Every structure is written in C-alpha cells, then in structure tokens.
Amino acid sequence: MTTNKVTDASFSQDVLDSKTPVLVDFWAEWCGPCRQIAPALEEIAAEMGAQIQVAKINIDENPTVPMKYGVKGIPTMMIFKDGQVAATKVGAMPKTKIKEWIQSSI
C-alpha cells in the first residue's frame, strides 16, 4: 500500500466516506519538512495499510480543503475517522512518533 494523492474534488469520497481511518498529510512542493517526512509516510502506508490509509493533499493545487480545516502551517497531519477529524499534528516528527500518534488516535 502506498500513499494516495487526494484533491479538493476527491476529498469527500477518498477521506470522509472512507470505511477505514485516513491520515491526511497537508503538504507543498516548497516545504522542506514536508519532503522530510514523506518517506516515513510511505513506509507507514506500507506497514499499516490494513489499519489506516495515508493520503496526501498538495495545498497549493488544492486550497479549498486546507482552508476548510484551518490548516495554517505545514506539514499538518490529520486523522479522519467516520468523516470527522480525530487528531491533528503540525510539524515534522520522526516515523516512530508518527506511528505512536496514529496508534493512540485510531
């Protein structure tokens, strides 16, 4: 399992309607910390694919969803369960911390 690219148009179907929890990574090409955590998110998607989906939304190409959820800084990661935000983290962290956060939130 790999990360899924999500857009403003597909967000409702891909994230809000998902039967499994979804970690959404709000990121941009120019964001160094976003690029720093990208490999960890790919690994988490592969390791935890049965428990959680990992989706990425580029805030420059898709401004509506980040605005709706009040994303001010990136990277911002949100876990959605049953169409609702269950947890939010702002900033880069090591893979182990991201996994701990996911496990405590789902």
Active site residues: 31, 34
C-alpha dist (Å) from residue 78 to 34, 60: 14, 17
Concatenated DSSP letters of 34-60: HHHHHHHHHHHHHHSTTT-EEEEEETT
- CA–CA dist 59, 28 (Å, integer): 6
Question: Six-digit token pair at 65?
Answer: 């969803």
Helix, strand or coil for residue 92?
coil
